Amino acid sequence: MKKWSGDLHKLIYTHVVMIGVPTIFYYCLRAGGLKLVDVHMAIATFFLISSIMIILEGSHSLFRRYAVPAAPTAPTFRDRCTRPFKRLLKMQGDRRFHPITPLPRCSLLVAAYLPNEQDIIFETLRHILNSLHRPTGGLEVVLAYNTPYDLAIEDDLQAFAELHPELKLLRVEGSHSKAENLNAALELVTGEIVGILDADHHPAPDCFLRAWRWLERDYDVVQGRNVIRNHDLNLLTQNIAVEFESLYGVSHPAKSFLTDSTIFGGSNGFWRTAVLKQIRFNPTRLTEDIDATMRTLLSGYRIVHDRSIIATELAPMNFDSFWFQRKRWAQGWLEVSFIYQRRVWKSKYFSLPQKLYWTYLLYYGVIYSLFALQILPLILSLFLFHGYLPSSDNAYLWFCTLITFFSGFYQTAVTMKVAATRYPTLYFAQHAILIFVYTTLKNAISLVAFYDHLHGYNQWVVTPRGQYATRVTAPETTPLLTPAAGLSAPK
């Protein structure tokens, strides 16, 4: 908890400003005879809008999917009854299509900060080299890493690369970020498609084939689904696992379903190489992936989310790591929102639904955490004024409250239905119970991130990896899997 304690004063200060001071202010207004019903209804409306979006996204992700059979069997009685309803709401499943042309040469970029990820990098490389299907045009894997000092594992990596000619090692001198590592690696790639992976990600064997079926149909980026691999460590990793299933199995696919637009999530994403060489990554951004997403969309390129392209990754295993990871994410979204929101509305490449949806993701997402917290001083001031919490006869407030609570349980239920990994039911029950506490925690982190952004603090704290795996120092000598002569169609 030592690193996190440095942010403790920021947490206290921001919550005194955003909760303590408003509580006193609202109390004084109540003492002056104002009931503040309009303020309460305005804040409730923020919750209502978010809840409706959660329900809308969940419903589309539940009924629509991109990987239904290409030749469906005879419809059942239930299918005949529900099909008109699904067609009306545009929720029918999109038929899976097969690639038209052979899979071209592919490049896979693995970015690593080696002092932090030397314990897991061999596990990742072995997984890639031993499991990935080889495209007709061939495969290359580039490990682009930075390190401030020489490491013994670099000799092991060199020996490993000599055994596996598909692997290229690139030490990026002077690099201080993942973005710089990836930009340097782009100078080496020879594939028509390039996949991006973090050092802890294990991709599916057929990831490139599944991505190719979109790339050859005029999409430029395909984002896959990230699933937590170390979910059974503790309560935190269990909740993050369900949260990721909700993000990558429900929310992100819904963006594709609803607006034909989504985000590149930083890893398990597959690009047309020519597009990525044009876009590249900005090393000055805390979330270089979201920044690249916006510049890609604003350039007229298209991104799709395919939740059937699965890669597993490692979740932060302690509160320190979780805190700094989520604060960086929140601050990175702030940066992107302030820089690109107005450009979205001016862009000729965004349709009106896309402009509205990205406003919801950017500006609305920024102010939501600030306004959502105001429900606490409102309730506290009410309690201080009356000495208890009086019941309300306002139908609108009751409606908003019911929808808000329902949306959290509904989202968890949908996540459980579409989850890529069949976690124990306990995980989902815990998440449903804790979701409001968990959301409040993330809002508190966002508030500290807002504070840091306003004060120009943008320190990057690396998420520790070394505790997750035992370091492998000897090069793997097991022969690679024999590449299949032909790849079967994805399911």
How far is residue 350 CA from its own chain's centroid? Answer: 22
- Mean pLDDT of all residues in 81-107: 69
User: What one-letter code names the amino acid at 397?
Assistant: L
- Mean pLDDT of all residues in 329-345: 94
Q: What is the pLDDT of residues 379-389, one digit of tens each?
A: 999 999 999 98
Average pLDDT of the residues of the chain: 87
Angle between helix axes 365-372 and 319-346 (nearest 10 degrees) is 130
Of the chain, the percentage scoring pLDDT greater than 90 comes to 69
Residue 85: its pLDDT value, please?
63
How far is residue 22 CA from its own chain's centroid? Answer: 33
pLDDT of 474 over the 50 cut = no
Separation in Å, CA 399 to CA 40, 47, 145: 13, 11, 52
Greatest mean pLDDT range, 70-74, 283-287, 364-368, 439-443? 283-287
pLDDT of 482 over the 50 cut = no
Q: Residue 49 carries which DSSP code?
A: H
pLDDT of 93 over the 60 cut = no
Task: Report the Cα–Cα distance between both ends of the chain, in Å, rounded.
Answer: 44
Separation in Å, CA 41 to CA 19, 61, 80, 350: 18, 30, 42, 32
Angle between helix axes 375-386 and 21-31 (nearest 10 degrees) is 50
Residue 66: its pLDDT value, please?
55
Residue 53: its pLDDT value, please?
93
pLDDT of 97 over the 80 cut = no
Residue 477: its pLDDT value, please?
32
At 73, the pLDDT band (50, 70, 90 cuts) reads low
Q: Residue 72 carries which DSSP code?
A: P
Q: How many CA atoms lie within 13 A of 22 on its CB side?
A: 19
pLDDT of 469 over the 60 cut = no
Residue 71: its pLDDT value, please?
46
Pair 318, 208: CB distance under 8 Å: no
What gap in Å lies between CA 24 and CA 266, rounded to an integer?
A: 43
For 176-211, letters b (16+ CB in 10 Å) and e give ebbbbbbbbbbeebebbbbbbbbbbbbbbbbbbbbb
Lowest mean pLDDT among 65-74, 155-164, 440-449: 65-74
What gap in Å lies between CA 437 and CA 416, rounded to an integer?
A: 19
Angle between helix axes 252-259 and 352-359 (nearest 10 degrees) is 150
Angle between helix axes 425-454 and 395-418 (nearest 10 degrees) is 120
Residue 363: its pLDDT value, please?
86
Residue 371: its pLDDT value, please?
83
Question: Would you say the C-alpha torsion 262, 268, 274, 277 has a positive or negative sign?
Answer: positive
What gap in Å lies between CA 484 and CA 133, rounded to an integer?
A: 7
What gap in Å lies between CA 141 and CA 29, rounded to an integer?
A: 64
Q: Which fold has domain 106-346?
A: Spore Coat Polysaccharide Biosynthesis Protein SpsA; Chain A (3.90.550)
Lowest mean pLDDT among 106-110, 191-195, 415-419: 415-419
What gap in Å lies between CA 352 and CA 338, rounded to an integer?
A: 20
At 473, the pLDDT band (50, 70, 90 cuts) reads very low
Residue 466: its pLDDT value, please?
52
Lowest mean pLDDT among 238-242, 294-298, 403-407, 469-473: 469-473
At 445, the pLDDT band (50, 70, 90 cuts) reads very high
What gap in Å lies between CA 180 and CA 283, rounded to an integer?
A: 6
Burial of 325 (0-12, 13-18, 19+ CB in 10 A): middle
Beta strands in 321-380 (DSSP E): none
Domain boundaries, the chain: 2-58+365-454, 106-346
Helix (H) or strand (E) holding 94: none
pLDDT of 22 over the 70 cut = yes
Separation in Å, CA 468 to CA 78, 217, 231, 290: 46, 39, 11, 27
At 457, the pLDDT band (50, 70, 90 cuts) reads confident
- Mean pLDDT of all residues in 342-369: 91
Residue 447 phi, psi (nearest 5): -65, -40
Residue 79: its pLDDT value, please?
66
Q: How many residues does the chain have?
A: 491
Q: Residue 230 carries which DSSP code?
A: -
- Mean pLDDT of all residues in 265-276: 97
Which residue from 197, 312, 186 is spatially nearest to 248, judged by alpha carbons? 312
Residues 6+ apart with CB under 8 A from 247: none
Lowest mean pLDDT among 32-36, 68-72, 206-210: 68-72
pLDDT of 98 over the 80 cut = no
Lowest mean pLDDT among 56-65, 163-172, 320-329: 56-65
Greatest mean pLDDT range, 29-43, 70-84, 277-291? 277-291
Residues 6+ apart with CB under 8 A from 258: 56, 57, 60, 353, 357
226: alpha, beta or left, given left = phi > 0 and alpha = psi -120 to 50?
Answer: beta
Choice between 81 and 432, residue whose per-residue pLDDT is larger: 432
At 5, the pLDDT band (50, 70, 90 cuts) reads low
Pair 265, 226: CB distance under 8 Å: yes
Residues 6+ apart with CB under 8 A from 202: 124, 127, 128, 229, 311, 312, 313
Beta strands in 292-336 (DSSP E): 303-313
Choice between 269 and 98, residue whose per-residue pLDDT is larger: 269
